[in-house]
Structure 1
Amino acid sequence: MGCLKSIPEAPTHQRNISESYKPGNAPITVTRRPRKNMFGAFQANSITDYYEILKAIGSGSLGTLFYAKHIQTQEFRTLREINKLTLKDDALSIVQEISVLKDLDHPNVLKVYEAIETPKSVYIALEYISGHSLMEKVKNTGCETMLARAMLDIFSALAYLHTKGIVHCNICPEYIVQTNGDSYDVITKLIGFTCSQRLNDKQEINLNKIHYQYAAPELLKGEFDEKADIWSCGILLYDLLVGRLPFPGKTKTGIIDCILNGDLDFTNSMFTSLSYNSQDLIKNMLNLDPLKRSTAQQNLIHPMINASKSKISISLDAIKKLRVFKVNNRAARSILAKLNFKLGKEDHEIINYFKEIDENFDGRVSKDELIEAFDRLGIDITGEVDEIMCNMDIDGNGYIDYSELKVTLTEWNEELKEKNLIRCFKVVGDKILIDSLRIELIDIKQLDWIRFLQDCPNDGVNITVTALKNYLKDNINQ
C-alpha cells in the first residue's frame, strides 16, 4: 500500500456513461484525476485552504517545517514548505524523495501524505512525530539495551527498504527519531530521505548534503549499494555508545581520509568496555569491504539485537479477525484503505503483531509467514490460507503490507462513524459529492466504481454520509 494518495479537491472533467446506471437513476459521471506537476503535487491557491499552520518547528536547506493541522481530518502533520524561487538546484532531490516515500508502507519509516503546489511554494505533508531525535534520548538515558531496541526498529526499516532496492544514503542521528512513550511503547522511525536512491535508477548525489562523518567509503567514491546504509549504522551505533566518532582525524579532510582507508579506533577504553556483542556488531558493520559487511537482515538476528526483542504473543482474538475478515467488494476495500490512511492512527499493538508475523523483516507478510503465525497457536490454515490472503491483500501484490494488516485488525464497528467519514471526505451538509469521492478513490477500477454506485444509494450527484456508512458496514465481515 503506497502513500501520497490524499488529494485536494480540484477542477474535474466529466463524461457520461449512460449504460452504467439503473433505470430511474441519473447518469453516472466519470471524473478524471487532475494533473500533477513534477513533484506529484496538486495545484491550490493557498495552503491555508487545506491546513491550519500552528507554528514553525525548524528550517533547513530544503525549506521550513511547520506543525500544522489538516483541516478536513483534524489530524496533526508536519508541513515542509519549499520556496519555488530557491527550488531550482534542489528540485531533483525533492522529486527523488517524494518518489521514494510515496510507495513505502512500514511502521518504522516516515509517512508522506500529499504534496500541494501553490503559486509561490511546494508543500509536502509528512507524518508528525511527537518525540525527540535518538541522540537527544541517548543523552538522557543512553544504554546498550535501549539502543538495541532502537536499532531493531532501524534494521527493520532498512531490511524493508533494501528489499525494495532503496538505499537511504544519509543515516545519521538527526534522521532517526523516536515517538514519545516509555520502554516498548516507543517507536523509532527513519526520516530524512532527500538523498535516498533507487538502486535501479541511481541519480548523482550532492555530497555536500550528506552527513559525511557517517558516509560509507564507497558512497564518498560515488559507487554504492545497500551496504552503504549498514556502514552508516555502524558509525551511528559507535557514536551513540562511545560518545564520539571512531576517527583519529579531527578535520573534515582527516575524517574523510580515515573513512576511505578504514582507519577506525577500536582500541580506546570506552569502546573496549562495551559488551562483546556490541563490539562485534559494530565491527561487522564497519568492514571496509562492502561484500564482507553484514546485511540489515543479518543484524536483526545478531545476539545484541536478538536480546532486545520483546516476544509478542498474538492474541486469539487477533488471529480470529485475520481468519474471518472479509470485505465483499473491491470498492469497499479501497474506501476502508483510504479511511485507514487518512485517519493516520498508529496502534502499537498492531505494529507488534505485524513484526511478530513478519519473520524475515522484509516489511510484508507472506503466505508462509501467515501459516506459521496461525500454527504457533495450534491452528492449521493450509487449506484456507489463499482465501485469507485474498481477503486481506487489498492491492493484490501477493503479500500483506502493514497498512493492510491495520485495515484487517481495525475495529470498524467503532471507527465507521459518521464523524470519521466527514473527517475523511468532502461533505456538504450530510452529503458527499460523487465527483469529489471519485477523485479520492481514483484507484478503484471503472467497473468496480459503477457497481459501487449501483449498490450504494445515491441521487446521481450526491451520497449521504449515512448511506456510505451503511454500505461499508453491510460489506464488512469482521
Structure 2
Amino acid sequence: MAAQTSTAKFSDIYELKEELGKGAFSIVKRCVQKASGLEFAAKIINTKKLSARDHQKLEREARICRLLKHTNIVRLHDSIQDEGFHYLVFDLVTGGELFEDIVAREFYSEVDASHCMQQILESVSYCHQHGIVHRDLKPENLLLASKAKGAAVKLADFGLAIEVQGEQQAWFGFAGTPGYLSPEVLRKDPYGKPVDIWACGVVLYILLVGYPPFWDEDQHRLYAQIKAGAYDYPSPEWDTVTPEAKNLINSMLNVNPAKRINASEALKHPWICQRERIAAVVHRQETVDCLKKFNARRKLKGAILTTMIATRNFSSRSLNVKKNDAIKESTESNTIEDEDSKGRKQEIIKLTEQLLQAITSGDYGEYTKLVDPHLTSFEPEALGNLIVGLDFHKFYFDHVLSKNNKPVNTSILNPHVHLLGEDAACIAYVRLTQLIDRDGLPVTKHTEETRIWQRKDGKWQNVHFHRSGTNSTEAGK
C-alpha cells in the first residue's frame, strides 16, 4: 500500500484494537485494515493539544516518512486527519528492540554484530540518498520486524529527522540524544549527514562490547569526551575484537566530519561486506552480559522519566518516553531538541521586555494585554502581602506612571528562562531602571524579578511575578 494522505474517515478504513504505547499528546494502537485484514500500528495524535510549532513538526515527520520506502525502515502507509486527530499508520513491527533481542540469543558473535550494522547502514544510506538526516539514531530506534529468527532490523522514529540538499552543512539546531551526539553538533558547527554516521559508530561500539564509548554521569564531562573523540579499546574485552572492526569504528568516530566515512563507503568496508571471512565467529558472552546491564540502565532511566511525565505533565517534546515496541513517540527520554526551546526562550524574553515597556510608558491598555486579569504578585509596595488582580497595579498607572513626564529607561540584565512544558515558562532577571529624579539628577536603580508566563488559547500572559528591592513606585509593576 502506497503512503498517502487520505481524506476518508479513519474509522471507515481501519478498526482500532489494543493500545501499544502512549505519549503526552499521542497514543499508539494496533489497527486492522477492514478491506484487507492487514495489521498496522496507528499513531494517534491529538492535534487540539498541539502548538503551531508541533503542527509543523508533525507535518515534517509525515512528509519524511511518506518519502521513505525501504525494508530496513519502519514504513508509513497512511496519514489521515480526522476531527481533531491525526492518524499515522505504520508497519506493525512486533520484534521489539534489537538490543533486547541480542541479550536473549543463545549465540552472539562479531558476525552477528556485522549483520546488524549492515542493515542499519543500509537504512542510513537510503535516507541520505533521499536527502534525509535522522539525527536520533540510537538503540531505542532500532527495532525488529518480528520475533522470527533473522527478522529485519528496522530504523524507526523520524520525529527529529530533517531534509537537506545534497551534502549541505548548516546549523539545524541542537537535537539528538546526549551519548550519541556528534562533536560538530556539540560545537554548534554546521552539520549534515555525517552526524548519523557518528551515531552508527557509537552503536557499533556498543554492539561489540555492550557498553558505550563515551560515558560520564556529568553531561559536561560527557560532552568534553565526545568533542575530543576520547574513547579507547580497553583489555580484555577488546582483545578478542578483530582489527577490522576497530578500523570501521575509528572511521565512523572521526571527530572531523569531512574525514568521517559515509554510509555507502561503510557498506563496502571489509568487516561489513566480507564478514564471513573477516569477522570473528566466537560467542561473546561478556558482551551479552554487559549489554543486559546497559539495557537495564536505559529502561530504568525511561521509567524514571515516565513517572516525571505522569506527575509533572512535561511536554512530550522535552521529555517523551517510549514504551511500545511497535511505533514509538517522536522524541525519547534523553532526546534533546534545543532549536525550539531556544526560540521559545527568546519569545519569553521579548514578551517580558514588551511588558516592562508598557509599565515604563504608563500604557495600562498595553499592560492588560500581557497580564492575566487574576495576576498574583509579591512586591515591596504590598508590604509582604500577596496581591491578586489588577486594581492594586492600576492605582500606580493612574496616579504615578501615567503622570511621569521625565525620561525613564528600563533594561533586562542576565535573563534566565525555564520552560515548564509547552505552555508555561518562568523568567528570572535583574531589572535596571534609569531615571531623572526631582532634582534633575540621573538615578539608576535595580531590582530582582521573577515572572511566570502561561499560554492560554494560544496567547501568552503573565500570571505571577515576584519583585525584590526597595519600596519604589518608579520601578513599576
Q: TM class by shorter-chain length?
A: 0.5 to 0.7
Distance 1:199 1:256 in 2: 25
- Inter-partner Cα distance in structure 1 for 2:88 and 2:20: 15
- Mapped pair 1:301 → 2:235: no
**Which secondary structure does the structure 2 equivalent of 1:137 belong to?**
helix
CA offsets per residue over residues 308-356 of structure 1, 9 Å max, x none? 479xxxxxxxxxxxxxxxxxxxxxxxxxxxxxxxxxxxxxxxxxxxxxx
The one of the two structures with greater contact order (alpha-carbon pairs below 8 A, sep at least 6) is 1
Give, as a single letter, the amino acid of the residue that structure 1 aligns with 2:140: E
CA distance in 2, matches of 1:206, 1:56: 33
Indicate how the Cα distance of structure 1 residues 61 and 176 shifts in structure 2: closer, same or farther if over 3 A, else same. Answer: farther
**Paired position in structure 1 for 2:258:** 291
Q: Is the 8 A contact 1:62 1:90 kept in 2?
A: no
Hey, what does 1:199 align to over in structure 2? Answer: 164
Shift of 1:8: 4.6
- The partner residue of 2:111 within 122, 132, 145 is 145
Separation of aligned partners in 2, 1:299 and 1:202: 20
Higher helix share goes to which structure? Answer: 1
Q: Aligned-pair distance for 1:196?
A: 0.8
Letter in 2 for 1:144: E
- The TM-score with structure 2 as length reference comes to 0.53
Q: Please give the secondary structure, in 1, of the residue aligned with 2:254.
A: coil
The answer to whether structure 1 residue 167 and structure 2 residue 133 are counterparts is yes
CA distance in 2, matches of 1:203, 1:65: 34
Three-state SS of the structure 1 residue aligned to 2:258 is: helix
Residue by residue over 1:9-49, the C-alpha shift from the partner in whole angstroms, topping out at 9 and shown as x without a partner, is 4xxxxxxxxxxxxxxxxxxxxxxxxxxxxxxxxxx3xx433
Look up the match of 1:230.
197
Partner residue in 2 for 1:211:
177
Do the aligned partners of 1:284 and 1:293 also contact (CA within 8 Å) in 2? Answer: yes
Q: Which amino acid letter does the alignment assign opposite residue 238 of structure 1?
A: Y
| Residues in 1 aligned to 2:216 and 2:192: alpha-carbon distance in whole angstroms | 26
1:277-330 deviation digits (Å, cap 9, x = unpaired): 2211111110101111111111111121113479xxxxxxxxxxxxxxxxxxxx
User: Which residue does 2:71 correspond to in 1?
Assistant: 107
1:186 aligns to what? 151
Superposed displacement of residue 72, structure 1: 2.3
Question: Quick check: which one's strand share is greater?
Answer: 2
1:229–1:122 Cα change, 3 Å? same
In the aligned structure 2, how far is the partner of 1:3 from the partner of 1:303? 36
Paired with 2:170 and 2:39, the residues of 1 have a C-alpha distance of 33
Distance 2:257 2:218 in 1: 25
Classify 1:167/1:309 alpha carbon distance in 2 versus 1 (closer, same or farther; 3 Å).
farther
Which SS does the other structure have where 2:67 is aligned? coil
The one of 149, 152, 155 aligned to 2:121? 155
* 2:448 counterpart residue number: none
CA spacing shift, 1:57–1:248, aligned 2, 3 Å: closer
Gap change, CA 1:222 and 1:104, over 3 Å in 2: same
CA distance in 1, matches of 2:236, 2:216: 18
Is residue 68 of structure 1 aligned with residue 31 of structure 2?
yes
Letter in 1 for 2:205: Y
Structure 2 counterparts to residues 88-107 of structure 1, below 5 A: 88=51, 89-107=53-71
Q: Which amino acid aligns with 1:280?
A: N
What CA distance in whole angstroms lies between the structure 2 residues aligned with 1:120 and 1:206? 29
* Preserved CA contact (<8 Å) 2:16 2:32: yes
AA paired with 1:109? I
- The alpha carbon displacement at 1:222 in A equals 5.3
SS at match of 1:105: coil
What does residue 6 of structure 2 align with?
A: 7
Alignment-derived partner of residue 264 in structure 1: 231
What secondary structure, in the 3-state scheme, does the structure 1 residue paired with 2:28 have? strand
Cα distance per residue 1:171-220 (max 9 Å; x no partner): 0011111123555x42111111111111139997564x622211212233
Gaps of 5+ in 2: 278-477
Q: Distance in 2 between matches of 1:8 and 1:248?
A: 48
Q: Cα gap change, 1:248/1:153 in structure 2, threshold over 3 Å: closer, same or farther?
A: closer
SS at match of 1:156: helix
Residue 273 of structure 1 aligns to which amino acid in structure 2?
T
Computing the radius of gyration over CA atoms, which structure comes out larger, 1 or 2? 2
Q: Output the CA distance in 2 between the equivalents of 1:300 and 1:177.
A: 20
Q: 1:257 to 1:278 in 2, by over 3 A?
A: same
1:81 aligns to what SS in structure 2?
strand
Give the unaligned 5+ runs of structure 1. Answer: 10-43, 311-478
**Given that residues 25 and 49 in structure 2 are in contact (C-alpha distance below 8 angstroms), is that contact kept between their aligned partners in structure 1?**
no
Q: Which position in structure 2 is the counterpart of 1:471?
A: none
User: What is the CA distance between 1:231 and its match in structure 2?
Assistant: 0.3
For the residue of structure 2 that corresponds to 1:69, the secondary structure is: strand
- Rounded to whole Å, the distance in 2 between the matches of 1:62 and 1:236 is 29
- For residues 411-464 of structure 1, the C-alpha deviation after alignment (integer angstroms, 9 at most, x for no partner) is xxxxxxxxxxxxxxxxxxxxxxxxxxxxxxxxxxxxxxxxxxxxxxxxxxxxxx
Q: Which amino acid aligns with 2:93?
A: I
CA gap of 1:84–1:163, structure 2 versus 1, over 3 A, is same
- 1:71 and 1:6 mapped to 2: Cα distance? 18
Partners of 2:47 and 2:55 within 8 A in 1? no
Q: Which residue of 1 aligns with 2:445?
A: none
Kept in 2: contact 1:247–1:265 (CA 8 A): no
Moved more, 96-105 or 286-295: 96-105
Answer yes or no: is the 8 Å Cα contact 1:6–1:113 preserved in 2.
no
Query: Against the structure 1 CA distance between its residues 101 and 234, is the aligned structure 2 distance closer, same or farther, given a 3 Å change threshold?
Result: same
Look up the equivalent residue of 1:263 and give its one-letter code.
A
What is the total number of aligned residue pairs between the two structures? Answer: 271
1:252 and 2:219 matched: yes
The answer for the alignment partner of 2:88 in structure 1 is: 124
Q: Which residue of 2 aligns with 1:383?
A: none
Deviation at 1:97, TM superposition (A): 1.2
Q: Secondary structure at the match of 1:131?
A: coil
> What letter is aligned with 1:71?
K
Q: CA RMSD in A?
A: 2.5
